[in-house]
Each structure stands twice: as structure tokens, then as C-alpha cells.
Amino acid sequence: MRLTAPIETLFRIAEPQKKALKKLRIKTAEDLLYHFPARYGDVAEMRTIGSLAQGETVVVFGTISKLQATKAFRTKIPMGTAELKDDSGKIQIVWFNQPYIAKMIPEDALVRVEGRVSQRRPKSSDTNRSTLNAKRSFYFSNPKIEKVTSVPTGVGGSLFGEDGEAHHLHPVYPESQGITSNWLFHHIQKIIASGALDTLVDPIPPDILEKYHLPSLKTALIFIHAPQKAGDAVGARKRFAFEEVLFIQLEKQKERKLWQKEKSFTIEKGEEHIAEFTKRFPFSFTNAQNHAVSGILEDFRRGVPMARLLEGDVGSGKTAVAASTAYAVITSRPKDQNYGTLQVAYMAPTEILATQHFESFIEYFKHLPISIALITGSGCRKFPSKVNPAGWTDISRSQLLKWTKNGEIAVLIGTHALIQKSVQFKHLAFAIIDEQHRFGVNQRKALVHKEMRMPHLLSMTATPIPRTLALTVYGDLDLTVLDELPPGRKPIITEPVAPANRDAVYEKVRKELRAGRQAYIITPRIDEPDPDKEFAVQARSAKSEAKRLKEKVFPEFDIGVMHSKLKDTEKERTMEDFKNGKIDILVSTSVVEVGVNVPNATVIIIEGAERFGLAQLHQLRGRVLRSSHQAYCYVFTESMGAKTLDRLKALQTAKNGFELAEYDLKFRGAGQLSGSKQWGVSDVAMEALQNLKMVEAARAEARRLLEEDETLSHYPLLTEHLTSRKQDEIHFE
């Protein structure tokens, strides 16, 4: 068996499974081997029908019969029904909305059924009494079902015996509709049994494996898919996590080395020069801000392109750092030129934010003899306007492109529109990316690869991420953390609210609104859930919540709605109205999370808080941390379970977003950290990010390997692996 062979050439695969495999991104036998179990279940959850009780989630093996596609008696919902039998009893199965399942399985087939046991309330109108009574009134509702060829040993026999045999580890794989964990397990075992693992060569150098006591590739694959004991699986996962972090580090460190070979601009401006500018602010900089500015100025002087990440909590004042370092650039002449200035590009993820920065930068720099421009999807602007030197004017795109290219525009602010090929600079010396996590790697690259000389790059983010994750995914960047908030801010009062106290909170909000303040109300959804989706999660939607609030709660106030499906112009108008106070309450999805600044908004209500990560909740509440008024954050949840309360407690007491990110990583599971996909890191590696030592070891090894052998010429396997990872990456984007 060749591991690179497409999977359908190795096994007979039905159409729905093909689709599912595609969704899981499994193309080859090797991909399948790298589809790791999400967890290890206990075989003990396998049960006999006679022993079932309501509410349990179980696996049952049995013979299926009376398969029927039908419609529910009164609601006419299409459904499939069947009866499942084993030696101990019978139970009814119902698949609402999935009548076809009844046609996919032959009568009297041996099947594995996995699902939750429900109990039906007996109704006199039930016509189908006899089958429903099959096993008292228990039934499986929409369980997973799969044909099997045999019942695993242990079920109904020794499994429930005294010897405890049953507790061997049984891998549970991430599934996709059309493919079950069991299918994945069996096919992976077939690949392993074929001996194909012997053809694998371990890309990790043996001395590294030895040093960290990691299992070899082959052993690890066997361990992860069929562990004999818990330690096997742990060791294997550790190895794969290490491998992945090592590869990410190698990539990032390589990029870093390449980047540092590029030519850049030497900008010789010292702290005194910047002080002339910063004294214009109505506040003095925090130590953290000063420190960040000094670090950047130092990078500017070195002639090597800077690549720096500025991580700072919401409201920590990143814009002021960006502006004062931009000041150093736009007050510098291009080399051998006694006119004009070096240029700055400032990219923001949304039009609202880009426009807001454009306005702020006009304020900051209006005393300088320079032009500032804005480019977004909906048009271009320039300051100063010829007709009205105190303000900006709309200009055509072609004018903007011309003036950017000939160097007349010193600061160009914009959205993604900024990275189009047609946007060319004369002396782009400084590229700033705001809320950089909103951009893909390629977009960041497109911004800096504008000219022969590399601009200095400053990436900014308020997304607090755990240190281990930062060291990994930002391994190519230098890190500056703004770990200090400007003084004088009253800490925000965060209060979890029990459903019964909803009205009391609305009254408190009303009081704030009457005092002239404004409020955000954040909902987890845009629209009402699709009523046809029977099991769709019920969560408050922005649109319906706005309507309800206007009708029932706050008829005397103006309410606006904001969500990602609005057109950019509508978003901008709504934001503008909110900023100007035309709107009192902004009901929004989490799109406002990013950087928006409305100092008069002092209250935020967050609905369905369990749907957000803590770090994200923290960012949301940062929206009302913008002024000296006391700010309030009321958190509504759909449940008040112990876990939810613990999380909310953390939200109340945490000193900053980083602490909360660490909490998310520990308690909510790595996969929940705003989705591991966002970081391009697998679930296994995310798990490992809880282990700082391991991350540091992988980083150190990557550095050492590249220092000893810059091109990795002695490690062809590593290089090959890196190349294939790269291809995957390009493929995803």
C-alpha cells in the first residue's frame, strides 16, 4: 500500500463518504493516518438495550428491522423509523427530517447505533402504539447508525463482568456527516495492518527524538490510533505536537532570516524628536507606550527591516504608538533628496476603522506640511483639500494612485484596497497593520512587497493570545506587549445576570441612557435561526432583538442594528449615527469587536455569553472602556451552570486579556480559542500550547538547526516536509 495513493484507490468508498472525506481534507492514506482521534472513549458506554435509561448517550449493537420512511402524525415532518433489537430487548429509532436513512440500511442488518435515549410521553392519539411500546416508551432520536459486520467482543458479555476489561482505550475521531468514527478507525487500522508504516521515514532528526524522549513516527502513529495504555496516546500526541510546532518554528525562523537580509530604510530619529509630537496629545504616554516607541525607533535606525508585533489590550493606546512612530517617518526625507518625505501605509480591517484612523491622523498631523489620504472600497479621500485646507475632500482613485506613486501622499490609510497591485508608493518606509489577526498572511505580504526596499512592518493586535501561541504563530516577529492601560480609567463593572434579573438590568441601562450615555447590545446571531432546522440552536439575533427592544423595552430611544451582512456604506452610516449620538442603542453582532471608538458608550450588554470565548468577551467589553465615565458590562447567559459561572468569575477578576486567553486555553479547550483554524495550527498542537516548556524547546531546536545549517541541506526530510506544508497553506487560502 502506498501512503501517497488517493484513498479511493485503496478502499471502496461510497459517494457520501467521499464527500465527507473531502470535507475532512483527507485525500490520501497518509492524510487518513494523520487524522487523529479527538479523544479516547471508553468502550463501557456500549450498552445492551435492556439496560438503557432515559437521557443516556450510549452505543448499542443490534439487528435493525421495520425500516420505514414516513411522516410524523400531526406535524407531517418527514421521518425515518425503525426498530433495534438485541438479546436483552428492543428499542424504537426515529430520524426526524432524515427519512432517507431508513432506505440506506437493509432490513435485518447488524448495526451500531449511537445516540441519546429519549422517552416519549404516551399520547392517546398515537396510532403507532405497538412499535412505540417496543421498549417501554424509550427511543433513539436521530442517532448515528452504521452497518457493522460483527459485534465487538465484550458487548453484553465480559464487558459488564467484574474484571474491568472493558476499559481499554477506544479512539473517537472527528467525524463529518457521512462518515463515522468507526469507519475511520477501521480504515486506519487496515492501513497500519498493511505494513505501510514501514515505508515512512521520520523527518525529526533522531537526536532530537532522543533528547526529548519522543516516540518515532511509526510508533507514534500506532500509539495514537490504538493505544494500549493512556501513556501511549499521551506520548504520541506530544510527539506530533512537537513535530508541528518545530515545523512552524522552522518556517517562521526561515522567513525571519530572509526578511532580515532585505534592504530597508534607515530612519535616524531620536526620542527628543518624537517628544515634540507626543506633547500635542492631551495626555502623557504610559511607560509601556514609551517603551514601545523606543523599541521601534531603535529598529528604524538599524537599516534592517523591522518586523514587530505590538500586542496590547483594548484601549492600551496602540494608535498613539503607531502615530508617533509614523511621525518619525513622515518627518524624514528620502535619501539624497531635499524635498518630500518617506511614506507610511496604514491598513485596517474595516472601512469604519480605516475612516476613523483617517480622521484621527488628520488631527495628529494637520500642523505638518503633508498630505494624508484614505482608500477604501467605496472611494478615496485626501487631506488637506485645496478648496478647504482645514478639511478633507473626495478625490478620484486615479488621482490618489498618482499622488501615492509620486510620493506626494505621506500617509495612506486604507482597507484591503491598499494592497492592490495598482497602489504603488515612491518611498514606502513604514507599513502598519491594525488588528492584524483579521488579515491573512498573504495580505500582510502584499502590503510590504510593494517596492525593492522593504518597509518596516508594525503589526498591531488586541487579540490577547497565550504566550505559547504567540511564540509559535508569530515566531517570525519581534514582540512588544503594551501591558499597561492609561491611568485614570475606572475599571469596568462586569456583572453576570441571571435571567430573572433581565428587567432590572434594562432599568439600569435606561438610567445611563437618560444621563446621555449610549449602549451596545451584543447578540450572537444576525438572523433568527432557520425554523426548518429542528435542532438549530436558539440564540438571540441582532435583528429580532432590536425589534423586540424597540417595541417592548426601550420605545423612547433610537435603536440601530449592525452586523456583517450589511453593506459597507450601511455599516458606516450606522456607526456614524452611533458616534454622533443619533442612535442611543446599537444592537450588534460581534462585528463591533474590532477597534471601534465611541467614548460616550458606557454600557454593553452581551447576550448568549457562553457562545463567546473569554478573550473575545473581554474585547467586546473593551468597547465601553473609552472614557472616564464609569462603564458597565452586563453578561447574559443561557445557562448558569458551574462552568459558566467559573468563566464569568474569571471575566470579572482578570487583570487583562492575556490572562483570559490563558484561561480559555486551559479550561475551554484549545480548539475553542477563537478556532484553532484561525491560527493554522492543528488541534493536537493547540493542546500542546498549554505546555510552555515544549514550545520553547521546539523553538530552540528550530533556531539551532537553522544556525548550524541555514538551508537545512543536511536535513532533506525536513525541507521536504516544510515544502509540503507550504503547499497545503497556499491551497487553503
Count of CA atoms in the C-beta half-sphere (13 A) of 285: 24
455 binds Mg ion (CB under 5 A): no
Q: 606 to 635, contacts with ligand ADP by CB under 6 A?
A: 626
Q: Is 318 in the site for ligand ADP (CB under 6 A)?
A: yes
* Segment near ligand ADP (CB under 6 A); pick from 113-121, 259-267, 284-292, 581-589: 284-292
> In sequence order, what DSSP letters do the residues of 103-122 get, joined into one string?
HHS-TT-EEEEEEEEEEPPP
Nearer to ligand ADP, 259 or 439 (CB): 439
Compute the radius of gyration of the chain from its Cα atoms. 30
Q: In terms of CB distance, is 86 or 435 closer to ligand ADP?
A: 435
Amino acid of residue 506: Y
Task: Based on the shown chain and the rule CB under 6 A, indicate whether residue 320 belongs to the binding site for ligand ADP.
Answer: yes
Q: If binding is defined by CB under 6 A, does position 324 make contact with ligand ADP?
A: no
Residue list 450-469, contact with ligand ADP (CB under 6 A): 462
- How many Cβ atoms from other residues are within 10 Å of residue 144's Cβ? 16
Binder to ligand ADP among 89, 115, 156, 312 (CB under 6 A)?
312
How far apart (Å, rounded) are the C-alpha atoms in residues 86 and 224? 32
Query: At its nearest, how many Å lie between ligand ADP and the CB of residue 319?
Result: 3
Three cell numbers written together for 565: 451582512
Q: Is 291 in the site for ligand ADP (CB under 6 A)?
A: no
Q: Interface with Mg ion includes 349 (CB under 5 A)?
A: no
Cβ 276 to ligand ADP shortest distance, Å: 17
DSSP string, 681-704: --HHHHHHTT-HHHHHHHHHHHHH
Q: Which residues of 267-283 are buried (b: 16+ CB within 10 A; e: fewer)?
A: bebeeeebeebbeeeee
Q: Does 285 bind ligand ADP (CB under 6 A)?
A: yes
Using the rule CB under 6 A, which residue among 37, 215, 315, 414 binds ligand ADP? 315
* Nearest-approach distance from CB 360 to Mg ion, in angstroms: 10
Residue 603's contacts (CB-CB under 8 Å, 6 or more residues apart) are 508, 509, 512, 513, 517, 518, 519, 520, 624, 631, 632, 633, 634
Q: Is the Cβ–Cβ distance between 35 and 26 less than 8 Å?
A: yes
3-state secondary structure 505-573: HHHHHHHHHHCCCEEEEECCECCCCCCCCCCCCCCCEHHHHHHHHHHHHCCCCCEEEECCCCCHHHHHH
* 312 touches Mg ion by CB under 5 A: no
Distances in Å between the Cα of 34 and the Cα atoms of 24, 185, 506 are: 11, 12, 51
Q: Which does 170 bind (CB under 5 to 8 A by kind): ligand ADP, Mg ion, none?
A: none
Smallest distance from the beta carbon of 356 to ligand ADP, in angstroms? 9
Q: Are strands 585-588 and 518-522 parallel, antiparallel or unpaired?
A: parallel
Task: Give yes or no for residue 486 binding ligand ADP (CB under 6 A).
Answer: yes
Residue 28's CB: how many other CB atoms inside 10 A?
16
Q: How many residues bind Mg ion (CB under 5 A)?
A: 1
Is the preceding omega at residue 384 within 30 degrees of 0, hence cis? yes
Span 509-568, contacts to ligand ADP by CB under 6 A? none
Query: Which entry of Mg ion, ligand ADP, none binds 312, CB below 5 to 8 A by partner kind?
Result: ligand ADP
- Give 314 or 601: the residue with its C-beta nearer to ligand ADP: 314
Name the closest residue to Mg ion (Cβ).
595
Contact in structure between 349 and 299 (CB atoms under 8 Å): no
Closest approach, Cβ 281 to ligand ADP, in A, equals 7
Q: Strand pairing of 343-347 and 371-376?
A: unpaired
Q: With binding defined as CB under 6 A, does residue 314 bind ligand ADP?
A: yes
State the Cα–Cα distance between residues 702 and 472, nearest whole angstrom: 11
Which residues in 572-601 contact Mg ion (CB under 5 A)? 595
Cα distances (Å, whole numbers) of residue 491 to 585, 655, 721:
22, 10, 49
350 belongs to the binding site for ligand ADP (CB under 6 A): no
The answer to whether 171 contacts ligand ADP (rule: CB under 6 A) is no
**Least distance between Mg ion and beta carbon 658 (Å):** 16
Nearer of residues 483 and 528 to ligand ADP, judged by Cβ: 483
Per CB under 6 A, the list member of 597, 637, 656, 676 interacting with ligand ADP is 597
**How many chain residues interact with ligand ADP (CB under 6 A)?**
17
d(C-alpha 12, C-alpha 115), whole Å: 27
73 binds, among ligand ADP, Mg ion, none (CB under 5 to 8 A by kind): none
Interacting residues toward Mg ion by CB under 5 A: 595
Interacting residues toward ligand ADP by CB under 6 A: 283, 285-286, 289, 312, 314-320, 462, 486, 595, 597, 626
